[in-house]
Amino acid sequence: SIVDSQYRTGYHFQPPKNWINDPNGPMYHNGIYHLFYQYNTNGSVWGNIVWAHSVSFDLINWIPLEPAIYPSKKFDMNGTWSGSATLLPGNKPVIFYTGIDPQGRQVQNLAFPKDLADPYLREWTKPDYNPVIQPDASIEPSKFRDPTTAWFGLDGLWRIVIGSRRKMRGMAMLYRSRDFVRWVKAKHPLHSSKDTGMWECPDFFPVSLKGKRGLETSVSGPGVKHVLKVSLDMTRYEYYTMGTYYHMIDRYIPDNSSADDHTGLRYDYGNFYASKTFFDEAKQRRILWGWSNESDTVNDDKTKGWAGIQTIPRALWLDPSGKQLVQWPVEELETLRGKQVNLYDKELKSGDIYEVKGISSAQADVEVSFEISGLDKAEPFEEFWSDPQVLCGQKGAAVEGGVGPFGLLVLASGDREEQTAVLFRVFKAPNKHVVLMCHDPSKSSLRPGVYKPNFAGFVDVDINKTKKISLRSLIDHSVVESFGAEGKTCITSRVYPSKAIGQDAHLFVFNNGSEDVRITQLSAWEMTTPRMN
Ligand code: DQQ
């Protein structure tokens, strides 16, 4: 159908049809990347969930396989929900997933490759001793799911965390095991936080204090910080903290600078949920996958026959400040870069809009560096503007400012009746400048009924010192993934233009602030289409 073909993505992960949600059990094993994901075998809304399975040699081209895990036993007859993979000694993968049992309880099960000699690990066996973890009397059976990758302690015990809640306190329940089969609940959760509700898809891993190299999940000790990410069912957003893992007492304590509630740090300030990382041994990096849901109508999803994509895998590491993580699309993505156009030293005066011509921009990768001539005209920052999303809603692309809004107009029609703005705006607070990064899709589609939420985050840069800020946007028909300031602030949006489709999609740069802005360099590439399942 028309709706289908105009919104399908070219280089973002998708199966040929049907509903998908959470990425599950990503791993690198013997030269092959595996991605499993929650998949409806039978339609384009959530339901009938199995672990669909694809493999790749480069994280970009994907080969589809048969579902790896699906309801077949008592311990998962009502569902095979999210979970993670762990590599056991001898490079033997194991999957931990949540099964829904005959009573509708959430229980944790193991699955092993049937044949380790099969490089694709097509078939998975679920031992009859499952479930290996059941909710005890203190745990609500419907609030107990999404086991993490296991990590190994110096005491010879494996550990995993399972998402849960008690009343409205979100919890990362901790379990330990010597043999990976018998699991014992720890006296205390690894961490918990009041009023945050159910913690879905927790992820717990170490990051190096220095450099971009990733760490294997069991690494701990000096030179290392830990990250705990949770997906809040309540807000449908994810939050992470950075802190210290005290492995002797098995407690994780977030740094003071890291709020562990829904005011905290986000991997992505847009449409991005149920994410999961894994350690890529081949390139010594930690890679993040996230699910980006549709924001058109359920009827559109039914007409399209598909719903949901995975975002481009991102390498992630600790920012030198130690206060946040930084993310960047895996370098392999650049192999898809085709025809290229460049702009150098382009002055954007107040009110200027300039079209970047010469490539087809419905499927593109754009990198741009902006230089600000001065900050005198920056609008005053009000202390009560604590929520960037609210601020972005009040000060979108059309609202003239002092320094900014400036940025890109992507998936725009030639007449700009349709456009998705990716913009920066700089404010002056008493002792510093505040940089807002924003996706403003309020004009992204003329079609009625489409949900067009704006998304925004603050960017922690010293703009007064550098006078520069960079932006990269990955554009792919119905998705825009943006990386501000080399990956310090990331935003993903789903948009559904009715005119800015295929060859009719245009790309512009704009400046709607009174201060002039210079583009020192812009490079835009048309993206070719990989093998996608
Ligand atoms: N999706 C899965 C659950 C998880 C939720 C079910 C998060 O395991 O908590 O499809 O999106």
Q: What's the CA-to-centroid distance between 47 and ligand 1, angstroms?
A: 11
Atom number in ligand 1 closest to CA 98: 8
Supply 329's token pair. 């699309």
pLDDT by residue for the chain (533 residues), tens digit each? 555 678 999 999 999 999 999 999 999 999 999 999 999 999 999 999 999 999 999 999 999 999 999 999 999 999 999 999 999 999 999 999 999 999 999 999 999 999 999 999 999 999 999 999 999 999 999 999 999 999 999 999 999 999 999 999 999 999 999 999 999 999 999 999 999 999 999 999 999 999 999 999 999 989 999 999 999 999 999 999 999 999 999 999 999 888 888 889 999 999 999 999 999 999 999 999 999 999 999 999 999 999 999 999 999 999 999 999 999 999 999 999 999 999 999 999 999 999 999 999 999 999 999 999 999 999 999 989 999 999 999 999 999 999 999 999 999 999 999 999 999 999 999 999 999 999 999 999 999 889 999 999 999 999 999 999 999 999 999 999 999 999 999 999 999 999 999 999 999 999 999 999 999 999 999 999 999 99
Any ligand 1 atom below 6 A from CB of 145: yes
- Domain extent listing, the chain: 2-8+20-331, 337-527
Does 22 qualify as catalytic in the annotation?
A: yes
Domain 337-527: state its class: mainly beta
Find all residues with CB under 8 Å of 466, minimum gap 6, and list them: none
* Residue 259: predicted pLDDT: 86
337-527 shares the fold of 2-8+20-331? no
Cα–ligand 1 centroid distance for 200 (angstroms): 7
Q: Sign (positive/negative) of CA torsion 72, 74, 79, 82?
A: negative
Query: What is the bridge-based pairing of β-strands 144-145 and 151-152?
Result: unpaired
If one residue of 38, 39, 238 were mutated to test the ligand 1 pocket, choosing by the most ligand atoms within 8 A of its CB, it would be: 38
Look at residue 2 in the predicted model and tell me its pLDDT: 53
Pair of tokens at residue 239 = 């939050």
The candidate with the shortest Cα–Cα distance to 420, out of 469, 350, 353, 475, is 475
CB atoms within 10 A of CB 282: 10
Find the 99 Cα to ligand 1 centroid distance in Å. Answer: 11
Q: Which two tokens stand for residue 456?
A: 């925004």
Nearest CA to ligand 1 atom 10: 81
Annotated active-site residue in 22, 146, 440, 516? 22
Q: What is the dihedral of CA 267, 271, 272, 273, to 10 degrees?
A: 120
Q: What single-letter amino acid sits at 238?
A: E
Residues with Cβ within 8 Å of residue 157, at least 6 apart in sequence = 176, 177, 178
Q: Which atom of ligand 1 is nearest to the CA of 163?
A: 9
- Look at the block and give the residue holding tokens 């562990």: 260
Please give the pLDDT value at position 3.
Answer: 59
Provide the pLDDT for residue 41: 97
Under the phi-then-psi rule, with left for phi > 0, alpha for psi from -120 to 50, and beta for the rest, what region is 394?
Answer: alpha
3-class DSSP assignment, residue 489: strand
DSSP line for 53-117: EEEESSSSSBEEEEEEE-S-SGGGTT-EEEEEEEEETTTEEEEEEEEE-TTS-EEEEEEEES-TT
Regarding the beta carbon of 458 and ligand 1, being less than 6 Å apart is answered no
For 199-217, b/e burial (b = at least 16 CB within 10 A) is bbbbbbbbbbeeeeebbeb
Asked, as a colleague might, if the bond just before 430 is cis with ω within 30 of 0, I would say no
Minimum-distance ligand 1 atom for the alpha carbon of 22 = 11
Q: Is the CB of 292 under 6 A from ligand 1?
A: no
Q: Who contacts 197 (Cβ-Cβ below 8 Å, separation ≥6)?
A: 165, 168, 170, 232, 233, 234
Whether 24 lines ligand 1, by a CB cut-off of 6 Å, is no
Q: Measured in angstroms, how far is the CA atom of residue 419 from the centroid of ligand 1? A: 32
513 pairs with which residues across the strands?
401
Mutational test site, ligand 1, from 81, 148, 198, max ligand atoms within 8 Å of CB: 81
Show Cβ contacts of residue 267 under 8 Å, excluding neighbours closer than 6 positions: 229, 238, 240, 275, 288, 290, 316, 325, 327, 490
Query: Whose CA is closest to atom 7 on ligand 1?
Result: 274
Class of domain 2-8+20-331: mainly beta
